[in-house]
Amino acid sequence: MGFIELYDLWAQDPFFDQETRDELQAIREDKAEIEDRFYKDLDFGTAGLRGVIGAGTNRMNRYTVAKATTGLAKYILDLGPENVKKGVVISYDSRNFSPEFAEVTATTLAAYGIPSYLSDELRPVPVESFSVRYFGAIAGVMITASHNPAKYNGYKVYGEDGGQVPPEAAGKIMEYIEAIDDIRTMKSISMEEARAKGLVKDFGPEIDEAYNKMLTGLVIDSDSIKRNADMSIVYTPLHGSGNKPVRRILESVGFTNIHVVKEQELPDGNFPTVKLPNPEDPAALEMAIELAKKTDASLVFGTDPDSDRIGVAARCVVDGEVTYKCFTGNQMGLMLLDYVLSSKKRLGTLPDKSFAVTTVVSTKLAGAVCAAFGVELQETLTGFKFIGERIKDDDEFGDKHFQFGFEESYGYLSGRDVRDKDAVVAAMLICGMAAQSFDEGKTLADRLEDVYAKYGFGAEKTLSFTLEGKEGIEKIANCMKDMRSALEECGNSEDAKKLLPGRDVIAVRDYDTSVRYEFTADGVNKTPITLPKSNVLLYELGGAKGIDWACARPSGTEPKLKVYMGIYDSDRDLAMDNLGKAEKDIVSFVEEELR
């Protein structure tokens, strides 16, 4: 069925509610908009669904949510009766229609005889992950679009280990979804009937208490917290789900002087006070920093709508004036990694066979930190589900001990009871790290300089090239295709100089073909890559410390091509200068490829 026929069906058939039909009738003269809404089904990838809210097959709405849930239900039924009765945990954040989509998920599962635990109010991603394990559920669903703009919502599926479903399971769920030819044939029952049959049960405070108790067991240096309990801290939930759990844990571990940005405290899916509810963007912390100046706060941080990411700024004095330094995800990841490992080493609580995990697009200085403490560093593909898998395989079912995981996109994790990035535990650790720095008469800005002095300076940057709509997605796909074609045509190191203009490319890792290409004067050496396949190209560029790099990958959650890069040197000025040159060369190259 073509997009016009699908549009006519959705706009006219009484199966669809009146609001949906009215919305579609209002665009009947806009063929481009109709095509964008109906030219494909909203993709169900390894992270589930994520898209613009609205009517259409390529939009987030009650019907696409029901379709995804039908696929999940059929996947669970295949796992057998013992797994079916374990049920599914459903949570949601503050985004528009999140509670409604959560109810659609619960009633659709109930129609297939699958019970669910439904959160009685908004709760963040880490609590969802924890709850799946707490209830011993077979799966979980989190309604969220993380840090995307307000017009988005999404649907994330978790496995019974509390981690996002791995690619194999996601592929099977997708097969069931794609097999649904007519969504009008999907099963459904009312919430009243589902509750009457005992197929939907609410959960609430007992989970909050258990999760908070677990977090208190992850405190590393409680003495420094006691000595600095009155440290002034400013926090903004950015209208999201972190407000209650973040404040609860900080108060539980002893911090007494916490100021919350009132204008951003309460949930609001329109996120009226920020352009983007994304703590990666320093602009999202502007109101918090203003409050920090009034309260003489030493530390500022904000969490995104589903509270899996955290952005941080610290008070510092520059040329006699108080200002606040915003940290990148890589900088905070490095500091936390060093804090966790150094503190545990000093306290005698760092076990043998310890390991940390990061991603292929995160700072390469993590290797130096881990080496300093005799800790193994593992690299995974982008996505915390892969970090969660390492915890399961090497800690839960292995003989190693997970200490810390992070990715450059402001996601951090400590402990093994949550299997996704956790801004709540990160808030606790960051405040504890700040308290420890206070003991030394330093701020977190000072601490970062100490880390660089010890491990070398990293000049790192992430670039995003956003191309909306069908045409944009096609351009991104063609760009990756062209870069791979150029790679295949390289016969030696001289040819490799053309891969990234202005850069000396030593090797390229193509995670889609699982091959690493190393270039020599005489040819190309190919070796296998053991990580799962992914549409990622990583260029090894050598440099002063031999670890410079650049990487290109389409975003898995937004219509973006993301380019990451890192330049490393003992000399800060040289590293920053070389990063500027690399950025200029790469931006020019990518923009030309995307035309």
* Residue numbers annotated as active site: 146
Strands 401-407 and 411-413: antiparallel
Give me the helices (H) in 489-557, please: 493-496
Distance CA 403, CA 81 (A): 36
Per-residue DSSP letters for 363-430?
A: -TTHHHHHHHTT-EEEEE-SSHHHHHHHIIIIIISSS-EEEEEEETTTEEE-SSS--S--HHHHHHHH
Amino acid at 21: R
Look-up of token digits 């490799």: 496
3-state class (DSSP) for residue 489: coil
Q: Which neighbouring-strand residues pair with 234?
A: 259, 300
What b/e string do you get for 403-426 counting C-beta neighbours within 10 Å, with b at 16 or more?
bbbbbbbbbbbbbbbbbbbbbbbb
Of 362, 326, 334, nearest to 549 by C-alpha is: 362
Give the burial class of 401: count Cβ atoms within 10 A of its Cβ; 0-12 exposed, 13-18 middle, 19 or more buried: middle
Q: Which neighbouring-strand residues pair with 299?
A: 233, 314
Of 38, 90, 88, 46, nearest to 64 by C-alpha is: 38
Distance CA 568, CA 461 (A): 12
Distance CA 371, CA 354 (A): 11
Strands of 255-295 (E only): list them. 258-260
Q: How far is CA 234 from CA 286, 288, 290, 317, 430, in A?
A: 11, 6, 10, 18, 13
Count of helix runs (H) and strand runs (E) in the chain:
21, 22
Give me the helices (H) in 26-158, please: 31-38, 62-78, 81-84, 98-111, 125-135
Q: How far is CA 107 from CA 86, 101, 124, 190, 516, in A?
A: 16, 10, 21, 6, 47
Distance CA 70, CA 73 (A): 5
Tokens of 269: 């899916």
Phi, psi of 326 (to 5 degrees): -90, 135
